[in-house]
Amino acid sequence: MHALILGAAGMIGRRLTAALVESGRVGNDRLTALTLVDVVQPEVPAGFDGPVRAEAADLSRPGAAEAALAERPGIVFHLAAVVSGEAEANMDLGYRVNLDGTRLLFEAIRALSEAEGYRPRVVFTSSLAVFGQPLPPVIGDDFIPAPASSYGVQKAMGELLLADYSRRGFLDGIGLRLPTICVRPGKPNKAASGFFSGILREPLAGLPAVLPVPETVRHWFASPGAATNFLLHAAGLDLSGLGTRRTMTMPGISATVAEEIEALRRVAGDKAVALIRREPDPAVMRIIETWPEAFDTQRANRLGFTADASLDAIVAQHVAEHGVKL
């Protein structure tokens, strides 16, 4: 099967590409070819014998989706998006990429579906940002998406389009609301959620980290490996029982900042924990306190999606990949 990854140059896109190449499989089929697309040029992965087309393209431009679909990939991983902060700061850009880009993709698939019976599996990444206050302590599968950001609105609209184009038979879609990724690799950034990873990643590298919120703050996490596994698992599922509800929240670990700190202490000791500097930031706290704390992900569980084993396992994955440099 030919796999297309939109957003292939991002953190999850690169991990997904590597995982597909390493297994040589996608879903229940052999991986025969790859198309990798992103706004920046994606890297061609090493160690894959089949044809790889890697291209920079803006999927919100007319014709870009058609070009990406030229070889009629049997599966489309649609990870491409303008991130939350950028979609909030630049409303036109967010709607153009996250809404119009998704709609242009689905319309391009529909045209091929009507012309020649094309019907790919589409795996769409959505977000916890579809949920807004007031929220219950544990959010079930039937809870209303009522986003508090333009990014969340655009993702919720993408979920609705995915459901409608699936219901009409143009594609066979599944949407995954990914937990907040932890430990996110790379440099500290200005995302409000950055500290959730930063207070683990930076001390493990012997660097100071800032904690802007109280230790009682609770949130919903998945490791980069778990998030990649959700995408791989979604590729091979029988979706015929989903009805019109094509998107579901992925299982995660519900943990407080205090629990993160204790997990850090267990793997790297008090000297690592001492690198966390408490600098309460009311602006960050106002954002974070509107976020969900935990989910009851029965639908995803029934389909066999599995969370990380524990917060310790999340930290261990990061240590295995990046080491401890303390």
- As annotated, the active-site residues are 151
Kindly state whether residue 97 participates in binding its own copies, applying the rule CB under 8 A: no
Kindly state whether residue 147 participates in binding its own copies, applying the rule CB under 8 A: yes
Q: Which residues pair with 184 in a beta bridge?
A: none
**Minimum distance from CB of 150 to its own copies (Å)?**
5
Kindly state whether residue 293 participates in binding its own copies, applying the rule CB under 8 A: no
The kind and range of the H/E element at 247 are strand 247-249
The kind and range of the H/E element at 276 are strand 276-278
The DSSP annotation for 98-131 comes to IIIHHHHHHHHHHHHHHHH----EEEEEEEGGG-
3-state class (DSSP) for residue 320 = helix
Kindly state whether residue 300 participates in binding its own copies, applying the rule CB under 8 A: no
Q: Which tokens hold the place of 137?
A: 């302590």
**Euclidean distance between CA atoms 26 and 74, whole angstroms:** 10
When the beta carbons of 62 and 206 are compared against its own copies, the nearer one is 62
Q: Which of 17, 125, 150, 254 binds its own copies (CB under 8 A)?
A: 150
**Minimum distance from CB of 175 to its own copies (Å)?**
12
Kindly state whether residue 146 participates in binding its own copies, applying the rule CB under 8 A: yes
When the beta carbons of 216 and 244 are compared against its own copies, the nearer one is 244
Axis-axis angle for helices 194-204, 257-273 (nearest 10):
20
Kindly state whether residue 153 participates in binding its own copies, applying the rule CB under 8 A: yes
* 147 preceded by a cis bond (ω within 30 of 0): no
Size of the site for its own copies (CB under 8 A): 25
Which residue, among 220, 236, 219, 218, has the nearest Cα to 305 in the 3D structure?
236
When the beta carbons of 150 and 223 are compared against its own copies, the nearer one is 150
When the beta carbons of 130 and 275 are compared against its own copies, the nearer one is 130
Residues 228-257 binding its own copies (CB under 8 A) are: 243-245
The contact set with its own copies (CB under 8 A) reads 91, 132-134, 141-148, 150, 153, 156-157, 160-161, 163-164, 167-168, 243-245
